[in-house]
Amino acid sequence: MFAMMPPTRPYLAADARLQHLLEAAGRVFEARGIRELSVAEVAKEAGVSRALAYGFFPDRESLQMAFFGQRVQAYQSFQDVLGNRELDPIARVVQLFDLFCDLPMSELYALNAIMFARANDELVPVRLQWEAMLRERWERVLDFENGPPGLFPAVWLFAGLTLTLALDVNEGRMLQDGARGLLSTLIIAAVGGLPPT
């Protein structure tokens, strides 16, 4: 009589295996936060050997860059709202806010970690990527080079406010309509209204 062999894991192509590992990274991040997001923990969560995981991510920094970089790329289309010339700039920000409110909490937490990365944080390279994307989108609307000093930092501040308000709505601390109104009022108060484009 032949002994039964244990079932083997299906073979995955490199891109599918990478996605499998990044999904596991998402589960680790959601359950335990950024401090526990390590290659060893992701390998364990994904049910693969550490050697296989280290083949994709040689160190913690490369894992975090891949995971958080994927978050930035996934929401690049959200930023396309900012290029919609049929809406005034305030309506664009409010529409972006509504898109953020529809995200799962884990995604909002990941974007929050990127947005508020400190200068000595491992996520600074991903934050710089996010900043560059935001600057490129808003340059279609605002003239950062010839506009008032501090214009881009103000846009960055409102992007952070938009994300924070979306978190507050999803955590039940604010109503979405109230947050929309607050966001619009703050933008108008800060810049005295924005010219139509």
Per-residue pLDDT at 195: 47
Per-residue pLDDT at 5: 44
Per-residue pLDDT at 69: 84
- pLDDT over 80 at 87, yes or no: no
Q: What angle do CA 104, 107, 113 make, to 5 degrees?
A: 140
pTM of the model: 0.72
Confidence of residue 6 (pLDDT cuts 50, 70, 90): very low
How far is 82 from 136, CA to CA, in rounded Å?
10
How far is 35 from 58, CA to CA, in rounded Å?
17
- In angstroms, the Cα distances linking 180 to 90, 108, 162 are 10, 17, 9
pLDDT more than 70, % of the chain: 84
Single-letter residue type at 127: R
- In angstroms, the Cα distances linking 187 to 74, 102, 145, 181 are 26, 22, 20, 10
Point out the least confidently predicted range of 17-26, 146-155, 166-175. Answer: 146-155
For the chain, the first-to-last Cα distance in angstroms comes to 79
Nearest to 107 by CA among 26, 165, 35, 186: 26
Per-residue pLDDT at 10: 60
Confidence of residue 7 (pLDDT cuts 50, 70, 90): very low
How far is 179 from 129, CA to CA, in rounded Å?
27
